[in-house]
Amino acid sequence: MYNIAVIPGDGTGPEVVREGLKVLAAAAGRFGFEYQTTEYDFGGDRFLRTGETLPDSAVDELRGHSAIFLGAIGHPGVKPGILEQGILLKARFALDQYINLRPVKLYPGVETPLRDKGPEDIDFVVVRENTEGLYVGSGGFLKKGTPDEVAVQESINTRKGVERCIRFAFDYVQKRNRDKKLTMCGKTNVLNYSQDLWLRTFNETAGDYPGVKTDYAHVDAICMWFVKNPEWFDVIVTDNIFGDIITDLGAMIQGGMGIAAGGNINPGGVSMFEPIGGSAPKYTGQNVINPLAAIAAVQMMLEFLGEDGAAAAVERGTMHVTGEKLPSLAVGRMGYSTSEVGDMVAARVRED
Ligand code: IPM
Ligand code: MN
């Protein structure tokens, strides 16, 4: 029996979460697992009402769940940064979700902006470190607001944090079993300390994985290769900020934010799965937004719960819908409503 915490969040979050849960229910019926959900109302509305983002007591409650399914965080009435840091980043740090796993896979029928590239070319996974680097909030001001102002923002990288991320990535390459290749993405030509630690740890850890080919690319160059030769990549491991940036590029080449999902993983704890697009406030309540990213988040959640058969069926359902049904993933051009897209994937999962 799985206990799933559900945080629908802001904007269109609740609409896409509903479709994700619809597909989860279909998968449970078809594959015979049981679960229950607990809904939490963290997000912009609650913050505006109570001043609370994600209280410590809630973090303790979340810890008792098998997984967390998150819709979207971001509210036009709340100053940017408050909800992101107070909810999303707080959950990642407090629950020690030290991996942000982001598959970049072009499904059949989905349009990529890359001319001459197809599903056989775009299929890789980014393993982003999720609890260190520039995201720790270390730094400060001196003489703030004066002409002599100094601002420092430090990137903190620990041997333990870097190594556990790199090990996860090597293990993931083996489990994925495709090209058996891991590329480290960094900036060793400029960042002499942090990236030196990363590359040394990468090379040392590689010794434990003789069956895995290793490669290295600078972060600026990898942006170029994602566009020019995405077929070169199998699994990429990188730090928090580089991973943040390159996975937005990755999402675009797989068809946009309407299809991209991510998992915030703590392999020994509770992990959180989310569509990576935003809360799209202007489409709220219109039943027009694409739910496939939220459905892909459910797929990842099933995989991490060990329900591999169900996860694969959800992916087949998604590919059926992108390949045979939807003319486009874009709002206004899908030809179906949010709930109809969810219905089609769920129906396919039930028949799988
Ligand atoms: C992401 C988002 C977050 C991040 C923001 C909302 C804090 O961009 O999940 O990639 O930077 O990690
Ligand atoms: Mn991001």
pTM for this model (two decimals) = 0.98
- What's the CA-to-centroid distance between 82 and ligand 2, angstroms? 15
pLDDT along the chain (352 residues), means of 10: 97 98 98 98 97 97 98 96 97 98 98 97 98 98 98 98 98 97 98 98 98 98 98 98 98 96 98 95 96 98 98 98 96 96 98 94
Are 258 and 146 within 8 A, CB to CB?
Answer: no
Please give the domain boundaries of the chain with CATH numbers for all domains.
1-103+257-352 (3.40.718.10), 112-126+133-254 (3.40.718.10)
- What's the CA-to-centroid distance between 275 and ligand 1, angstroms? 11
Cα separation, 107 vs 333, in Å, equals 17
pLDDT of residue 220: 98
Which ligand neighbours the alpha carbon of 249 most closely?
2
- What's the CA-to-centroid distance between 242 and ligand 1, angstroms? 11
pLDDT of residue 303: 98
pLDDT of residue 54: 98
Alpha-carbon torsion angle 88, 42, 299, 238, nearest 10:
0
- What's the CA-to-centroid distance between 130 and ligand 1, angstroms? 10
Task: Return the DSSP state at 183.
Answer: E
Are 68 and 270 within 8 A, CB to CB?
Answer: yes
Which ligand neighbours the alpha carbon of 264 most closely?
1
Cα–Cα distances (Å) from 178 to 60, 123, 149, 233, in that order, read 38, 10, 51, 10
- What's the CA-to-centroid distance between 277 and ligand 2, angstroms? 9
pLDDT of residue 219: 98
pLDDT of residue 287: 97
pLDDT of residue 327: 95
Q: Which atom of ligand 1 is nearest to the CA of 89?
A: 7
Q: Whose CA is nearest to atom 5 of ligand 1?
A: 84
Q: Bridge-partner residues for 139, per DSSP?
A: 153
Beta carbons within 10 angstroms of residue 217's beta carbon: 20
pLDDT of residue 30: 98
Q: Which atom of ligand 1 is nearest to the CA of 244?
A: 10
Q: Whose CA is nearest to atom 2 of ligand 1?
A: 244
Distance of CA 201 to the CA centre of its chain: 24
Note the pLDDT tens digit of each residue in 135-160: 999 999 999 999 999 999 999 999 99
Q: Which atom of ligand 1 is nearest to the CA of 92?
A: 12
pLDDT of residue 22: 98
Listed in sequence order, the DSSP H helices in 179-326 are: 194-206, 219-228, 240-253, 292-304, 308-320
Q: Which residues does ligand 1 sit against, CB inside 6 Å?
A: 84, 88-89, 244, 276
Q: Whose CA is nearest to atom 8 of ligand 1?
A: 244
Q: Which atom of ligand 1 is nearest to the CA of 88?
A: 7
Note the pLDDT tens digit of each residue in 55-82: 999 999 999 999 999 999 999 999 999 9
pLDDT of residue 165: 99
Cα–Cα distances (Å) from 254 to 102, 231, 268, 270, 275, in that order, read 11, 12, 30, 27, 14
- What's the CA-to-centroid distance between 350 and ligand 1, angstroms? 34
Q: Which atom of ligand 1 is nearest to the CA of 247?
A: 10
